[in-house]
Homo-oligomer: A and B are copies of this chain.
Amino acid sequence: MTDSRLSVERADSRRIMLAHTLRKAPIFSGIRADALETLALGCSLRQVDKGGYLFHAGTAADGFFVVHAGAINVHRVTEDGREQVIRVFYPGESLGEVVIAGNHAYPASAKATENSQVILVPTEFFRARIKADPDLALCILASMSQHLRFLVETIEDLKLKQAESRVAQWLLRQLRSAGQDPDGVSAFDLPLAKHLLASQLGITSETLSRVFARLRAAELLAVEGKHLRFPDTAGLQAFLERAEA
């Protein structure tokens, strides 16, 4: 029965791969390795091509997701078709945990902005796992807290700050999370298309272009395609503090 042996091996390596990805996800950082492997047994890997949807706002919930590769754009769409990006998720990050509580649908839509792989953690399966291991509930709680903080800050920014501040702030945050020295010359590559960044910041791509142009004129930024260099991060910081408000 070579066939059956083969499929067992495949299932096994798949489980190990899933568990490996789950372990790298911050949401499960507090979970023991064996518990994670058990969890991985109920999960599945989904391939989503660029532009493909993981789910639509208002549709029934399969479960929540952990990004394995690629990038997932979570957004709302109005009746007349305009989009507001809520946030873009990258490998290791989790989204849609909101469906674990209650039988509600997703509050937003999610689509891949590049070819992606995501791990689906099915709602019912995960709920059952929570009963066995209540720590899992705390994982979700912690992750949702993070999301909540992010959303609260976003709301403040959207109404209380202008386009320039939001862009400068975002740039400085990226610099920091890229681990660069905050007061030296540094640079990074944009992880998403500019029009998506614009939407996430609540502005149009035209406005983003103009802000970049102004920062370039002030010699605080150099743009080469997706590659951004910052000749004067301290100056950018000062610019932000001046523009703040």
A interface residues, Cβ below 8 angstroms from B: 76, 78-80, 82, 84, 86, 98-102, 104, 107-108, 130-131, 134, 137-138, 140-142, 144-145, 147-149, 151-156, 158-161, 202, 244-245
Docked-complex contact B137 and A107, CB < 8 angstroms = no
**Measured CA separation A155–B83 after assembly (Å):** 11
Q: Which residue of B lies closest to A202 (CB)?
A: B159
Which residues of chain B are near A84, meaning CB under 8 Å? 155-156, 159-160
For the complex, give the distance between the alpha carbons of A149 and B151 in Å.
10
Q: Cβ of A152 and Cβ of B244 under 8 Å apart? A: no
Chain B nearest CB, measured from A106 CB (Å):
10
A102 near B148 (CB under 8 angstroms)? no
Contact B78 A156 (CB under 8 A): yes
Distance A244 CA – B81 CA, assembled complex (angstroms): 12
Q: Please give me the residue from chain B that is nearest to A131 by CB atom.
A: B134
B141 with A82: CB separation less than 8 A: no
Q: Collect the chain B residues with CB atoms within 8 Å of residue A98's CB.
A: 145, 148-149
- In the complex, the answer to whether A155 meets B158 with C-beta atoms within 8 Å is yes
Query: Given that A101-B142, A137-B141, A141-B100 are contacting pairs, would A149 and B82 also be in contact in the complex, using a CB cutoff of 8 Å?
Result: no
- Whether the Cβ atoms of A141 and B142 lie closer than 8 Å is no
Using A76-B156, A107-B153, A144-B144 as known contacts, say yes or no to A138 and B82 having CB atoms under 8 A apart.
Answer: no
Distance to closest chain B CB from A63 (angstroms): 14
Once the chains bind, are A108 and B76 in contact (CB under 8 Å)? no
Q: How far is the CA of A161 from the CA of B159 in the complex (A)?
A: 13
Asked whether A244 lies within 8 Å of B80 as measured between CB atoms, the reply is yes
* Interface pair B148/A107, CB less than 8 Å apart: yes
Given contacts A79-B244, A82-B245, A99-B145, 6 further A-B contacts (CB under 8 A): A78-B244, A84-B156, A86-B155, A108-B152, A147-B148, A155-B158
